Structure 1
Amino acid sequence: MDLNAITVFAQVVDCGSFTHAADALDMTKSTVSRKLVELEKHLGVRLVTRSTRSLVLTPEGERFYQSSLQILELLNQAELEVSANQDLIRGPLKVVLPVELGHQVLGTYINTFLKQYPNVTVNLELSNREVDIISEGIDLYAQVGEIQDSALISRHLTKSQRVLAASPEYLDEFGKISSHQDLQSPHQMVDVYSRAVKLPKWHLIAPKDKDSIQIDLPYRLRVNTITACLKACLDGLGIAVLPEFICREHFTSGKLVQLLPEYTMPEVSVSLVYADRQLMPKRKKVFIRYLLEAFESNTRANH
């Protein structure tokens, strides 16, 4: 089997087009296409379904793509072990993060990591979609909330404190909130629903007896990002449950009011999640360790 053809195939999948793959490999588009056709003939199956607008992996192509990544990684590791660059951290990382976590928390750490390790490339996707880490070949994902796949490895990063918030304009229109009993009609919430972020139901923990009180308000607006929820809350569309750090500046400015601060809410865990692989690339190990240590160091400094 032509190992070069495997490299070409993997690049086509990563780039999503023959043209971009050809540019990345410094080949002509016709050469890339020919290499893929030769590989498919050798295997006796179609790996990619081609159309004028997109490339879609066949089920056989998806399985072979995952195997190809492991083959190429083994070759890369073998090269490093016998070369003068065996301590060099290099290669690609595919990372997916929930939108707000990427923008407001982890993005800066990734940028500083890349400055420290110039031979590593990161393909970063900020999305609130549900991901399949193994089938999509994702190196690292950040899970907000409960981790449901026990086959994955998780490393605890932090806990997110959540608070109840509303705008002064909203409270003027619908009434003040002085106890949990006030959280009923005509009050309404801004609901956040995301397959990526596994948030618990609205629960308040009473200050004295520590009883858990579930709140179930109707909503007029459902969104899939914390940013959209914050904007709707600022615009007076309802009560929202938001991460405390996102609301802090708005509480200070008076644009938002923290409701029932004497009550607490269950904290939400944030974890780094990845597949259990015996031959984990060195760059991935270093990247995970870097994020954990940098975040812990920054947390200590802020306290």
Structure 2
Amino acid sequence: MDLNAISVFAQVVDCGSFTQAAENLNMTKSTVSRKVAELEQHLGVKLITRSTRSLVLTAEGEKFHQSSMQMLEILNQAELEVSANQDLVRGPLKVVLPVELGHQVLGSYIHQFMHQYPQVTMSLELSNREVDIIAEGIDLYAQIGELADSTLVSRHLTRSPRVLVASPDYLQQFGVINSHQDLTFPHQQVEVANKAARIPKWTIQDENGDSYPFELPNRLRVNTITACLKACIDGLGVAVLPEFICLEHFETGKLVRLLPNYKMPEVEVSLVYTDRQLMPKRKKVLIDYLLQSFQSRV
């Protein structure tokens, strides 16, 4: 089997385009198409369904892509281990982070890492979508809340305190909230509906340790914390938000922290990745870098 053809196929899938793959590989588009066609002929199956606007992997193509990415990674790692530059941190990384976590927390650490290791390239996606780490060939993902797939490795990064908040205008219109008993109609909630964040239903705990569920009708459901924050500031309801994103708005008076004598659960934030026997050095260094960066903040 032609390893070069496999590498070309992987590049086409990553780019989602024969034209872009050809540019990245410094080949002609016809050469890239021929390599993929030869690979399909050798395997006896169709790997990619082509249209004028998009490329779609067949079921066989999906399976072969997963296997080929693992094989290419093992070959690359083997080359590094026997080369004179085996200590060099280099090569591509594919990272997916939740939007706000990437923008306001992890982004600066990623940038520092890239400065420190100039021979590493990275595809960084900020998204609140659900991801399939294995199928998509993702090197590292930041999970908010519980991990659903027990076959993946999870490393504790930090815990995110949550606060219950509303705007002064909202409280003036719908009434003050002095205890859990006030969290009833006509109060309404702005909720973050994020499938990727696996967070249990909210509860609040009073000074005696008694817990109460926080359940209000949804006035608005949004898919990002930033949208929830903006809606809450604009007086559309009560919200549960990460404490760090609200601090400046407490100072300016745009938000009021509700029930400060009650406790809310903290949310686990973890780094998640596949457990490979031959982990690329660049991936291990990135994981260690992020973990150490957060430890140094404490």
TM-score band, normalised by shorter chain: over 0.9
Q: For residues 69-99 of structure 1, what are the alpha-carbon distances to aligned partners after superposition, in whole Å with 9 as ceiling and x for unaligned?
A: 1221122122222322111111111111111
Q: Does 1:266 align with 2:265?
A: yes
1:191-230 maps to which residues of 2 (within 5 A)? 191-207=191-207, 209-230=208-229
Secondary structure in 2 matching 1:102: helix
Q: Distance in 1 between matches of 2:58 and 2:294?
A: 40
The residue type equivalent to 1:231 in the other structure is K
Aligned to 2:84: 84
| Deviation of 1:199 (Å) | 2.1
Aligned to 2:148: 148
- Return 5+ residue gaps in structure 2 as ranges: none
Q: Distance in 2 between matches of 1:63 and 1:222?
A: 36
Aligned to 1:45: 45
TM-score by length of 2: 0.98
Q: Distance in 2 between matches of 1:240 and 1:215?
A: 10
Q: Distance in 2 between matches of 1:224 and 1:82?
A: 47
Bigger drift between 243-252 and 115-124 goes to 115-124
Q: Is the 8 A contact 2:77 2:278 kept in 1?
A: no
Q: Distance in 1 between matches of 2:94 and 2:63?
A: 18
Q: Distance in 1 between matches of 2:81 and 2:231?
A: 54
Aligned to 2:118: 118
Q: 1:202 to 1:78 in 2, by over 3 A?
A: closer
Aligned to 2:232: 233
The residue type equivalent to 1:164 in the other structure is L
| Deviation of 1:280 (Å) | 1.1
1:88-107 maps to which residues of 2 (within 5 A)? 88-107=88-107
Aligned to 2:289: 290
Residue-pair matches, total: 298
The residue type equivalent to 2:78 in the other structure is A
Aligned to 2:178: 178
- Return 5+ residue gaps in structure 1 as ranges: none
Q: Is the 8 A contact 2:73 2:280 kept in 1?
A: yes
The residue type equivalent to 1:139 in the other structure is D
Aligned to 2:108: 108
Q: Distance in 1 between matches of 2:79 and 2:191?
A: 51
Aligned to 1:70: 70
Q: Distance in 1 between matches of 2:227 and 2:199?
A: 16
TM-score by length of 1: 0.97
Q: Distance in 2 between matches of 1:98 and 1:78?
A: 32
Aligned to 2:29: 29
Identity %, equivalent residues: 74
Q: Distance in 2 between matches of 1:119 and 1:7?
A: 20
Q: Distance in 2 between matches of 1:61 and 1:91?
A: 24
The residue type equivalent to 2:257 in the other structure is Q
